[in-house]
């Protein structure tokens, strides 16, 4: 079944229904899970359900017709606040939370959620891009989290609890969203008219990591062709850093001169590399599923045969790619991240004949952490 047309998260819906039925709905939630799996859509639909004036709250079944539902869908409900990181900003601006000299505090989220509900029900606030809090911005929320206004619900949307300050994590109820199954991703791609060919949708979904956004990105012919080329380079017995760096840099430059577009392209490269090493690790552990084998056969991208040390090397390479992706998300300098990651991958792969302990801890000149800034 699909709650309100949202596929793959019925277990989360039941969790909220049980909490409301017991009158134990928390005031603050942290939604975490991969990008492109429906967390934002779920949060907005949950807000609509909590604000609906015609349907019992415990049912979580918004009528869609009452003025409250109509306003929630239109984004004009006086008791619903939604903020997100502007496209031209690396982090969530402080003024969205508490205002500044150009944005009075009464226009900011912390002030608005503290007000009584206009329609006598609840106040709901949604903070997208919660991975991009400044430490100062996160601290501004502490009073709201520690002393939540009556009948208020605050939802933070991120990708991982590790990207939140301990003070935020400890004051929010954690809600984990699982990646979508390939069949669900394909169904969403087709239902939204994003992909017309069911066979293509299934192929993209198989490599999307449970994310509709990632699967759709693979529909880009340039990315699809580069994906095959990159996986071929990574499958070589040795990583030639100069050759690989040249290929990656050329692909990044094809996205244009805008920093945001280049950063996105580099993030896609790291996702493809992480997928390759995850598949390699699964192959060495005998965990490749039948559907994955069929998809690899269709795309011509089979998992390379196992070699001594591949298990440890694949795990270390996967960790390093994920670390580099997080550094990009933290606004670290792209060139530095790329060069450091490639050096570490070469050190791991080219030295995989060494004892496992020697290859499981890649060295990085740019440790992942909060607040990395572009020079």
Which contiguous run of DSSP H or E holds residue 248? helix 241-253
Across residues 179-186, what is the average pLDDT?
Answer: 93
Q: What percent of the chain has pLDDT over 90?
A: 44
Sketch out the chain's domains with CATH numbers: 10-176 (3.40.50.300), 220-359 (no CATH)
Q: Which long-range contacts (CB under 8 A, 24 or more apart) does 67-73 make?
A: 68/119, 68/121, 72/44, 72/47, 72/48, 73/48
Helix/strand/coil percent split, the chain, to 5: 55, 5, 40
Listed residue (81, 80, 29, 20) closest to 56, CA to CA: 20
Higher model confidence: residue 26 or residue 206? 26
Tokens 């060139």, residue located = 335
Per-residue model confidence as pLDDT tens digits over 214-251: 888 778 767 778 888 888 888 888 888 888 888 898 88
Per-residue model confidence as pLDDT tens digits over 260-289: 788 888 888 998 899 889 888 888 777 554
How high is the pLDDT of residue 253?
87
297 pLDDT tier (thresholds 50, 70, 90): very low
């Amino acid at each position: 079944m699909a709650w309100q047309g949202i596929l793959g998260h019925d277990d989360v819906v039941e969790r909220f229904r049980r909490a409301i039925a017991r009158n134990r709905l928390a005031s603050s939630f942290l939604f975490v899970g991969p990008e492109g799996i429906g967390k934002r859509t779920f949060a907005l639909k949950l807000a609509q359900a909590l604000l609906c004036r015609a349907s019992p709250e415990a049912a979580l079944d918004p009528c869609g017709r009452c003025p409250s539902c109509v306003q929630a869908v239109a984004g004009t409900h006086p008791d619903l606040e939604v903020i997100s990181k502007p496209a031209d900003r690396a982090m969530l601006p402080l003024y969205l939370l508490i205002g500044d000299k150009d944005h009075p505090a009464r226009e900011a989220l912390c002030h608005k959620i503290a007000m009584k509900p206009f329609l006598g029900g609840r106040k709901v606030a949604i903070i997208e891009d919660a991975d991009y809090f400044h430490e100062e911005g996160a601290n501004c929320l502490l009073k709201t989290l520690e002393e939540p206004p009556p009948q208020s619900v605050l939802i933070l949307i991120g990708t991982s609890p590790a990207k939140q300050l301990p003070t935020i994590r400890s004051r929010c109820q954690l809600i984990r969203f699982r990646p979508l199954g390939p069949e669900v991703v394909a169904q969403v791609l087709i239902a939204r008219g994003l992909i017309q060919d069911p066979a293509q949708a299934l192929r993209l979904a198989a490599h999307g990591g449970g994310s509709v956004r990632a699967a759709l990105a693979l529909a880009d012919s340039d990315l699809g062709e580069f994906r095959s080329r990159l996986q071929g380079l990574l499958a070589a017995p040795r990583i030639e850093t100069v050759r690989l760096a040249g290929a990656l840099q050329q692909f990044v430059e094809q996205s244009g001169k805008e920093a945001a577009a280049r950063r996105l392209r580099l993030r896609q490269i790291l996702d493809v590399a992480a997928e390759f090493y995850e598949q390699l690790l699964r192959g060495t552990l005998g965990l490749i599923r039948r559907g994955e084998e069929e998809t690899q056969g269709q795309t011509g991208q089979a998992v390379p045969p196992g070699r001594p040390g591949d298990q440890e090397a694949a795990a270390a390479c996967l960790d390093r790619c994920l670390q580099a992706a997080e550094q990009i998300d933290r606004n670290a300098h792209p060139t530095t991240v790329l060069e450091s990651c490639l050096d570490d991958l070469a050190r791991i792969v080219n030295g995989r004949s060494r004892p496992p302990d020697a290859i499981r801890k890649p060295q990085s000149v740019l440790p992942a952490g909060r607040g990395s800034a572009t020079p």
